[in-house]
Structure 1
Amino acid sequence: MTSLFQAAPEWTLTAVPYGSPDARVLVQALHQEQLATYGTADDPEATEDAEFDAPDGLFLVARLGDGPALACGGWRTFNTSAAEIKRMYVLPSARGQGLGRRILAALEQDVLGRGPTEILLETGMRNVAALGLYTACGYEPVRSYVPGRDPEINRALRKDIRQKPASHSHTGLLMEPG
């Protein structure tokens, strides 16, 4: 008997090297969007691939079933007490489905127990969705930790992770090894 219904594919998060083809496509899309929005952006090629290598970092991509990578994000060690979230991005076609929240929760979970007591990140002042996400997840504005940043463009945020991270609701993702 043939079923009329198929199970919907599931979102998965996969750890990948920062230099992988999937990661490169997404960080370049992020770079182009930042250039179009702000007229300036950090060059993702200036980031060493090893900065996201375990145990001092992690880079994730999200995909629906066995489809292409649609979102990404990573963390890297910033200093002995802080991790930094970098390159959070969701392709426009995949926005509004909670992928950013899910990636953020997975990254925070990976940082826990590795030594850092806080997580730092930056986002653009015009990225209202990202600012809303980070604020809802317990991040608070701080003075920029990157020299030379324009406060009219960049917003630095910080989260204390000495306690368990705030709930991000059900992540609904399967974690797969890279």
Structure 2
Amino acid sequence: MAISVAVETPLQDDVRALVDDLNDHLLPLSPIECQFKMTVEQMAGDDTTVFVARDENGHAVGCGALKEHGDGVGEVKRMFTRPTIRGQRVGSTLLDAITNLAKDKGVTRLVLETGTGPGFADAYRLYERSGFTRCGVVLDYPDSEHSAFYEKQLALAPAQ
């Protein structure tokens, strides 16, 4: 399956549907108060860049976002691939695009929060294979048994 990944607005019906599917997927995995979701309107903010993966027919099959926090910190948000295409490296492609953009923007530390438990095993594998390591609480997230935190140090861009 040929997949393309590009920066797009999340304010499209098919991307909204993808984010709805992500929210539905997460709902049974963690208590609602421990789910830190961005709405598509928040994802459309100036501090966030959204990547959308599309199949050869143009259908949105995955997404992920980079949220910039300043001081060299960026956050991976809203990572999701449709269950029907998992195992085809779409998540890795999205995460690579996010990481490359973060480097281009001068981010030196990329962080993320995800859930805990068996429902997140695929996410752990994705992040760890992409060079992320577990760390303590990041940003303003609460310390909770329902959250796992990861970070990846990025090389500084060469001086120009």
Instruction: Mark yes or no: TM-score above 0.5.
Output: yes
Unaligned runs of 5+ in 1: 1-8, 165-178
Structure whose alpha-carbon radius of gyration is higher: 1
Q: Which residue of 2 aligns with 1:37?
A: 29
Q: Which residue of 2 aligns with 1:76?
A: 67
SS of the equivalent of 2:22 reads helix
Unaligned runs of 5+ in 2: none
Q: Which residue of 1 aligns with 2:42?
A: 48
Please say if 1:17 is aligned against 2:9. Answer: yes
| Per-residue CA distance 1:40-83 (angstroms, 9 max, x = gap) | 223433862443x4xx4321111111231011101010222111
Q: What is the distance in 1 between the residues matched to 2:127 and 2:43? A: 25
Runs of 4+ that moved beyond 3 A: none
Q: Which residue of 2 aligns with 1:128?
A: 121
In the alignment of these two chains, the number of paired residues is: 152
Q: Percent identity?
A: 26
SS of the equivalent of 1:104 reads helix
| Per-residue CA distance 1:4-57 (angstroms, 9 max, x = gap) | xxxxx6211122113222321111111111111223223433862443x4xx43
How big is the shift at 1:104? Answer: 0.2
How big is the shift at 1:110? Answer: 1.2
Q: Which residue of 1 aligns with 2:104?
A: 113
SS of the equivalent of 1:18 reads coil
TM-score norm. by structure 2 comes to 0.85
CA contact (8 A) 1:28 1:44 kept: no
Q: What is the distance in 1 between the residues matched to 2:54 and 2:40? A: 26
